[in-house]
Every structure is written in structure tokens, then in C-alpha cells.
Amino acid sequence: MLDFIETEAKVRNILVHHCRRGFYCEGDNGLPDLILVGSHRLAFWELKNSDFSKLSSSQKTWDYKLRGTGHWVRLVTPSDLSRVGEYLDQLNEESK
């Protein structure tokens, strides 16, 4: 899933950051897995390997704070893969 998203982002000239070893990072737990920067928007995506996965309490805190500051936050599960291109394209669209 991650490889697919990174490939699709690269095709669209979107920057992607993913920390594979999150336990080495400092700061509050729960930061979303991906930080994506397009031409006009910044987004944070949490990846889950199951359509039935839920956010942890620390992930919910990050989700709430990021949304509250106007950032785009998305939970991406396997059933979302067919729409990843659409989601990524939105990061390069100018605001209306």
C-alpha cells in the first residue's frame, strides 16, 4: 500500500515523507504515517492494513488538532486504493 501511494505521488510531483521507524522519533505519539505536500495543499494520511482498523487515542488527538488547524487528514485503508490518485490530485489543485 505504501509503495503504491509513494509511486502515485511521485508521478504527480507530490512530496511524501514516511518514517519507517517511528519509535526513533521524538515527540507526541500518533503522528499520521504520511506527510504529503502538493503544489497547493499539505495533507497527513494514516495508513491502515485493514478496512476495519480504528485510530488509536493518540492518533485521534493528532487528527483532531490537525483538522482544527485546517490541514487535510485522511485515514487510508485497502478499500481506498482505487481513489488514491483522486486524493493526491486534490493536493495539486488551486483552492476555489
Q: For 38-96, what is each residue's pLDDT tens digit?
A: 999 999 999 999 999 999 999 999 999 999 999 999 999 999 999 999 999 999 999 76
* φ, ψ of residue 44 in degrees (nearest 5): -125, 125
Q: Which amino acid is at 70?
A: G
Q: Which amino acid is at 14?
A: I
**What pLDDT was estimated at residue 22?**
61
Structural domain spans, the chain = 2-90
* pTM for this predicted structure: 0.90
Q: Residue 36: beta bridge partners?
A: 16, 43
Residue 21: pLDDT band by 50, 70, 90 thresholds? low
Q: Which CATH number does the domain 2-90 belong to among 3.30.70.580, 3.40.1350.10, 3.40.50.300, 1.20.120.420? A: 3.40.1350.10
Contact 45, 1 (CB under 8 A): no
Q: Say which residue, 24 or 65, is predicted with more confidence.
A: 65
Residue 26: pLDDT band by 50, 70, 90 thresholds? confident
CA 25, chain centre distance (Å): 17
User: How far apart, in whole angstroms, are the C-alpha atoms of residue 61 and residue 52?
Assistant: 19
